[in-house]
Chain A
Amino acid sequence: AQKITQTQPGMFVQEKEAVTLDCTYDTSDQSYGLFWYKQPSSGEMIFLIYQGSYDEQNATEGRYSLNFQKARKSANLVISASQLGDSAMYFCAMREYGGSNYKLTFGKGTLLTVNP
Chain B
Amino acid sequence: DAGVTQSPTHLIKTRGQQVTLRCSPKSGHDTVSWYQQALGQGPQFIFQYYEEEERQRGNFPDRFSGHQFPNYSSELNVNALLLGDSALYLCASSLVGAPYGYTFGSGTRLTVV
Contacts and interface: CB of A to CB of B under 8 A. Distances in A.
Interface of A: 4, 33, 35, 37, 42-47, 50, 52, 91, 93, 95, 97, 100-109
A43, A44, A93, A105: most-surrounded residue (chain B CB, <10 A): A43
B42 A103 contact: no
Interface of B: 31, 33, 35, 40-45, 48, 55-56, 58, 88, 90, 92, 99-100, 102-107, 109
A43 B88 contact: yes
B33 A45 contact: no
Chain B's interface: helix, strand, loop or mixed, by majority? strand
A102 B99 contact: no
B42 A44 contact: no
A100 B45 contact: no
B56 A52 contact: no
Contacts of A44: 104-107
A100 B99 contact: no
B36 to A, nearest CB: 11
Contacts of A33: 99-100
A101 B43 CA distance: 16
A41 B31 CA distance: 26
Nearest to B58: A103
A51 to B, nearest CB: 10
Given A43-B107, A97-B99, A104-B33, 13 more contacts: A44-B107, A45-B90, A47-B103, A50-B100, A52-B99, A95-B100, A102-B31, A103-B45, A104-B102, A105-B45, A108-B40, A108-B41, A109-B41
B10 to A, nearest CB: 10
B43 A45 contact: yes
Nearest to A109: B42
Nearest to A103: B45
